[in-house]
Amino acid sequence: MASSNYSKTRRACYYAYLAMASIFVLPPMLFITFHDMYGISYTLLGTLVLISFCTQLSIDLIFSFLARFFNTRLTIRLMPMLTSTGLIIYALLPTLWPQQAYLWLVMGTVVFALAAGLCEVLLSPLIASLPSEHPEKDMSMLHSLYGWGVVCSVAISSIYFYIFGTENWAYLALFFAIFPLIASFLFFTSPIPVMEISSSQKGSGGKGRMLALCVLCIFLGSAAENTMTNWISGFMENALNIPKAIGDVAGLAVFALLLAMSRVLYAKYSPSISKTLLISMIGAAVCYLVAGTSGVVLSFIACILMGIFTSMLWPGTLILMEQKIPSPGVAAYALMAAGGDLGASVAPQLLGIVVDKVSVSRFALELSQTSSVTPEEIGLKVGMLIAAIFPIIGTLLVIYIIKRSKKEK
């Protein structure tokens, strides 16, 4: 089939990533609402994120070893429908049975997380399999659409909450459930090529080790990105005492805007991916340390600048893998997605646990009595410092990968 016929397929992939963003944006924007309406603790709210990414991790691992048993074309086309189903469960059942709200939130999370896992496992290799003169740019552009989706979702949500209030959040979730159905229609009307299931080259021990390093790198990068994505709204509202509407728009939306723009700029200029990853890890570590130790203004700036520094940590590691392991196949992409989802599972949950533990600790209680800072604010600040561990280790890992690559050359 002529390569020009796949332009519709490429656009379908882009739109699917755009439509998928709402399921990652809406839950963290509602953390405080769920805490107030249903009495759900921060640990359990962090557990929602953990459940989401563990579900995605399960899908990643299944495709890593059993991809050949799936009809990938049909799975891609049905995948967005799962997103809509999950959002409908997420919105309706807690409203109808608020006493079991957390159970229904978990159920909805699992369903749309299945779709998210399939999206990560299948759309990157699908984009890579389409004929293109600039495959790296296509990959970066694909992941930039997630950032634009976040911006749109935050803007729509913030306007909605300002007009109708957060207590009517369920109607917004139902509204977002419409868009994935359009993605499903686009896939059903687009040609989908046959994709490599496993690497077309027999991997040597060196390639296996490089894949393992890339999986570890995407784990650390995803941890750095998703911790801020999931907690920036609550951190600005409760630690920096910024009104929710301002924190969501000027915080989360600007963070996502910078993330999307950085990925677009990489797609245009394509600098060295190794140097890009190194600068990104260092910048992310500095931003977490500043957010955890500084006042309102510097902490606010550090949070939104994370959008720049974390923008290429996930897609950039995929590009690095493609450079080091030609024709990696769906299974390798699934392993990479597993590493990324594991990082996105562990890190936000860790921050939630730290906030709950530190907030009720003797240290926080005594410190709050001698300052104007509340125990909860102290807990959130300490959580940011703990989160800096991931990009710090990531910096050391990228330095090792660069040195290893030079030796191999």
User: What is the pLDDT at residue 409?
Assistant: 61
Q: Are 108 and 44 in contact (CB under 8 A)?
A: no
101 CB-near residues (< 8 Å, 6+ apart): 34, 37, 38, 40, 94
Q: What is the pLDDT of residues 179-236, one digit of tens each?
A: 989 989 988 988 888 766 555 444 445 577 888 999 999 999 999 998 998 788 778 8
Task: Give, in order, the Cα–Cα distances in Å from 406 to each of 274, 286, 399, 402, 403.
Answer: 11, 27, 11, 6, 5
CB 320 within 8 A of CB 273: yes
Dist CA 353 CA 306 (whole Å) = 22
What is the C-alpha to C-alpha distance for residues 164 and 19, in angstroms, rounded to an integer? 23
For residue 253, the 8-state DSSP code is: I
DSSP H or E segment with residue 373:
none
- Helix, strand or coil, per DSSP, at residue 189: coil
Under DSSP, is residue 134 helix (H, G, I), strand (E, B) or coil? coil
- Measured between alpha carbons, how far is residue 61 from residues 53, 117, 284 in Å? 12, 10, 28
CA separation (Å) from 187 to 8, 86, 115? 9, 19, 14
Full DSSP string of 262-311 = HHHHHHHH---HHHHHHHHHHHHHHHHHHHHHS-HHHHHHHHHHHHHHTT
Q: Are the C-beta atoms of 248 and 157 separated by less than 8 Å?
A: yes
Ramachandran angles phi, psi of 236, nearest 5°: -70, -35
3-state secondary structure of 111: helix
* CATH code of the domain occupying 10-408: 1.20.1250.20
Give how far the C-alpha of residue 380 lies from the chain's centroid of Cα atoms, to the nearest Å: 20
Contact call for residues 223 and 361 (beta carbons, < 8 A): no
Distance CA 140, CA 311 (A): 10
pTM value?
Answer: 0.74
Which residue positions in the chain have pLDDT lower than 50?
1-3, 200-204
Query: End-to-end CA distance of the chain, in Å?
Result: 37
Domain ranges of the chain: 10-408
